[in-house]
Structure 1
């Protein structure tokens, strides 16, 4: 019998990731991985065969235009999927979708009505949502009849108490969906399950997870569920990021528009594309670049980032009523030991004692055995969550009914 495969898509502004998974007794196992990076300029495809343990890299060239970059990248990806069709039968495509709003609290089968509603949320996630949704139509046309499933970053945070979700705004706006939704939910979902499987002594306790990628947020977990998070209605809130501002006095936005004459579009571009580490440093939005620089502006941007992380660790510890462990994940958390060391030292007041050797070696524990607060580095895997959620949905009554229709 042919393997029943789930294909995952994780589409961003500068990259497109695709994974092929088969089901096993231990859960989804990835057999192939494709990653196109460099959008919208020079495209490079990296393909990994996880069974054979091989990796190839192919230069795809420059897109015809900036507007056509993402459709062209997806066309390359679909062509590769066609070439490896002998691996098994694709039974579903599972897409990461950043914003699910108030209505989508769990993975869902995508139809035209769902897609239309998700497009109305694009203004709340302009750097992500259009890219997340774009592959759905193209995949639908290339592989008609195969279920497409949406998995939402916002859904993981719906376990938060209502007082953690609302803003201090007129009640009518709250009832109309102006809420603190939070993001990076697929990553937090993976870490929560990883703790349950591999660190059961921590899984049921009070944990702060720091998702340290180009987008940055933190989440307070209690018994594996989200209690509080740093992001809000949009992915601008909370910690400073590569090019996004993080938490900002709303009066600054009013001042820029009403007193300094900036248009709303100019302010949106500034906050989403020209702020954060890039804005503070004036050099780069990449932490490695800033750590390697000898310029005072770079050092100031790093200090600002570490300081804000320290403040937010304290805020989430208060929301949890204490903290029993911290997990660092995401690209910066996984690959930049110097940053990890500074963040662990920010947690010294909570009992964290850095193990310099373990930190250099990548953990998983970054703290000494005498440390009152354990700090771990755990790589995340959003694609595995996409696959697991898709297999679960297909096995449910909803999935079985869809497949019979």
Structure 2
């Protein structure tokens, strides 16, 4: 038996699971959310215990140390000391062209992850922090990186290339990479199993603080909304998603922004935060219900952008069997799912409102029996997918 600790560091969250392999038994799990905000919370569950506590968590380093204390706590913990951890699987967002598979972490790997900070500024830095803190706390464990970009290595050149001079793609590796790959892989495989066919056309919609959408044909990623970095595509918590690149030149040349300020604006001050003043969709939905016009419009804009991508991917794959919603918003927001699926009957999407409004942690179908396209909510389990890949490697 191996105890594998999976660390999944998001831009504003820190998820973890301690999984016993190969039985896939979860010994402990939890979530630190709203990192860097005033109302941070730590959710922790282990055998015989489940609880939440409010705690100021200014950064990811403090989040990991708080989780480690819980894992080894005399009353709530599941291990006595660090030597009981065989390996630690780290979700790393950007692997560039260097990493296309799960990799043992060494100094060279950490250097490459750091070199990609500029193209994944919200993710690779906390990913590396998680690795470095884990190396200190668990010095005897094998540290393993599982890259979000790996699943998207099957995207064809017609989809990953940008219409820029070829040498920039070939020599400087400027191309679409794709992200949230571990999540899209996990849920698309579960969706495909539900129709018991090897040939399938699936669109996976991952909606969290970061949002992305993937076209998956016959089990392989063939297109994806994020690109060279996790900035493009859907409207996100603090990221703008798609925009006219000339806006950047206008901000710099006409409005006096520095390039650093533009980067900060588009990655940390835009998206739903820029539109409403809130980055958490729960707050935005609450305000919209109170009649806040900005929040109502932001929800409509968000859903409209998702609809456009769904339409384009149906065209690219020449059809659709299953539409999957996953991640924090995708799994829990019936409001967002309804906004996306409304007026999509032309392409065969019919939502069952009763099923859509049910709250459940289980995978489920939320479309009507007559819907030509099966619509599903599948809770993502990136941690289990990471644990499986780590187990195979070590």
TM-score by length of 2: 0.91
Q: Deviations over 1:154-210 (max 9, x none)?
A: 111001111111111111110121010011101011112322444424x63111111
Question: In 1, distance between residues paired with 2:145 and 2:195?
Answer: 29
- Alignment-derived partner of residue 85 in structure 1: 79
**How big is the shift at 1:142?**
2.2
Q: CA deviation at 1:42?
A: 5.5
Q: 2:26 aligns with which of 22, 25, 30?
A: 30
State the alpha-carbon separation in 2 of the partners of residues 356 and 172 from structure 1: 50
Q: Distance in 2 between matches of 1:5 and 1:286?
A: 33
The one of 195, 207, 211 equivalent to 1:216 is 211
In structure 1, distance between residues paired with 2:120 and 2:141 = 27
Corresponding residue number in structure 2 for 1:341:
338
**What residue number does 2:160 align with?**
165
1:199 to 1:133, Cα distance in 2 relative to 1, 3 A: farther
Give 3-state SS (helix, strand or coil) of 1:85's partner. coil
**Does the alignment pair 1:357 with 2:335?**
no
Q: In structure 2, the residue corresponding to 1:195 is in which secondary structure?
A: helix
The correspondence of residues 275-354 of structure 1 with structure 2, limited to 5 A, is: 275-280=270-275, 282-292=276-286, 293=288, 294-354=291-351
Q: Give the alignment of 1:6-405 within 5 angstroms.
A: 6-24=4-22, 28-40=24-36, 41=38, 43-49=40-46, 51-52=47-48, 54-60=49-55, 62=56, 66=58, 69-83=59-73, 84-86=78-80, 89-175=84-170, 176-201=172-197, 204-280=199-275, 282-292=276-286, 293=288, 294-362=291-359, 364-394=364-394
**Counterpart-to-counterpart distance in 2, 1:59 and 1:210:** 30
Q: Compare 214-223 and 16-25 and name the one that shifted more.
A: 16-25
Matched residues in 1 for 2:209 and 2:7: separation?
18
Separation (CA, whole Å) in 1 of partners of 2:159 and 2:193 = 28
Deviation readout 1:96-148 (Å, 9 max, x if unpaired): 00000011001000000110111000000111110011121222122223210
Distance 2:255 2:195 in 1: 52
Aligned length, in residue pairs: 381
Which deviates further from its counterpart, 124-133 or 5-14? Answer: 5-14
Q: Which stretches in structure 2 are left out of the alignment for 5+ residues?
A: none
Q: Secondary structure at the match of 1:151?
A: strand
Contact between 1:310 and 1:346, CA under 8 Å: does it hold in 2?
no
Structure 2 Cα separation of the partners of residues 206 and 138 of structure 1: 40
C-alpha displacement at 1:254, in angstroms? Answer: 1.1
Matches of 1:377 and 1:301 in 2, distance apart?
A: 23
Q: In structure 2, what is the Cα distance between the partners aligned to 1:295 and 1:142?
A: 46
| 8 Å contact from structure 1 (residues 4, 22) kept in 2 | yes
Q: Quick check: 220-229 or 291-300, which moved more?
A: 291-300
8 A contact 1:344–1:375 mirrored in 2: no
Which residue does the alignment assign to 1:402?
none
> Is the CA contact (8 Å cut-off) linking 2:300 and 2:339 kept in structure 1?
no
TM-score using structure 1 length: 0.89
Whole-Å separation in 1 of the counterparts to 2:203 and 2:327: 14
Residues 180, 232 of structure 1: 8 Å contact kept: yes
Alpha-carbon separation, structure 2, partners of 1:266 and 1:277: 18
Task: Report if aligned partners of 1:212, 1:332 keep a CA contact under 8 Å in 2.
Answer: yes
2: CA distance, partners of 1:373 / 1:42: 40
Q: Distance in 1 between matches of 2:219 and 2:256?
A: 46
- 1:346 Cα deviation from its structure 2 partner: 4.2
RMSD: 1.9
**Contact 2:28 2:71 (C-alpha < 8 Å) held by counterparts:** no
Partner secondary structure for residue 364 of structure 2: coil
